[in-house]
Amino acid sequence: MATLEHRLRDVHARIDSACIQAGRPRSAVQLLCVSKTQPADAVRAALAAGEHHFGENYVQEALDKMAALADLRANLVWHLIGPLQSNKTRVVAEQFDWVHSVDRLKIAERLSAQRPSHLPPLQVCLQLNVSGEASKSGVALAELPELARAVAALPGLRLRGLMSIPEPAADLESQRRPHHVLAQALSDLRDGGLALDTLSMGMSADLEAAVLEGSSWVRIGSAVFGARPAKQTMDAQ
């Protein structure tokens, strides 16, 4: 069975190859290890292997993990990549470094107001609903420019860019299409005067397509940590 170190080498090799194919510098793409449902020891092992950025979907699970890894806090960068309800914004503003999944102004305003003044600005991305389905999380494309301008003006936050979670697709070209939508949306916002530099897109199955379309963060879980442990009952927010 492959070890964590072997899996990390394989993932980095995939990113290397995708960057070469895309004609992009390797430094343009960062690996975000998605540690949701993984034990704290798995994060500790990945840190020992050279990784520093970890993505969590569930706030309470993340807080428990942070407490277990408090001795390593200076070396860990915590990213919230799951949905965020307004009753959880305070602990997120206090404990996380990044939030990739902001999709409405109310959440951004609460994060801004609740970010402790002694901490650097909370780095945030807006989640775009690239599929346009009502059942999917994320802001609609038509509403994105207004939301982006409002969030960019908030103190305590730094708007970095956009995030998406597209529907799975089987082939490279189909995978590239929603990533292209996100990349074009970022380009349009930059043309409108916003200083944005981040595309959070691509997971284990489609990181190559995401890198080809300009991803800055590829969010990789199973390809790094292996199959997730059996699903446990947990706070989904």
Q: Is position 115 within any domain?
A: yes
pLDDT score of 209 more than 90 = yes
Question: What is the C-alpha to C-alpha distance for residues 79 and 165, in angstroms, rounded to an integer?
Answer: 15
pLDDT score of 109 more than 90 = yes
pLDDT score of 193 more than 80 = yes
Higher pLDDT: 237 or 108? It is 108
Question: What is the C-alpha to C-alpha distance for residues 151 and 154, in angstroms, rounded to an integer?
Answer: 5
Domain range for 129 is: 4-225
Listed residue (72, 80, 164) closest to 122, CA to CA = 80
Domains contained in the chain, number: 1
Q: Is position 134 within any domain?
A: yes
- CATH number at 93 reads 3.20.20.10
Question: What is the C-alpha to C-alpha distance for residues 220 and 205, in angstroms, rounded to an integer?
Answer: 9
* Pairing of β 53-56 and β 30-34: parallel
Q: Is position 216 within any domain?
A: yes
pLDDT score of 116 more than 70 = yes
pLDDT score of 224 more than 70 = yes
Q: Is position 234 within any domain?
A: no
The confidence band for 233, taking pLDDT boundaries of 50, 70 and 90, is: very low
Q: Is position 105 within any domain?
A: yes
Q: Is position 233 within any domain?
A: no
pTM of the model: 0.95
**Overall average pLDDT of the 223-231 stretch:** 81
Q: Is position 82 within any domain?
A: yes
pLDDT tens digits along 129-153: 998 777 778 999 999 999 999 999 9
Q: Is position 235 within any domain?
A: no
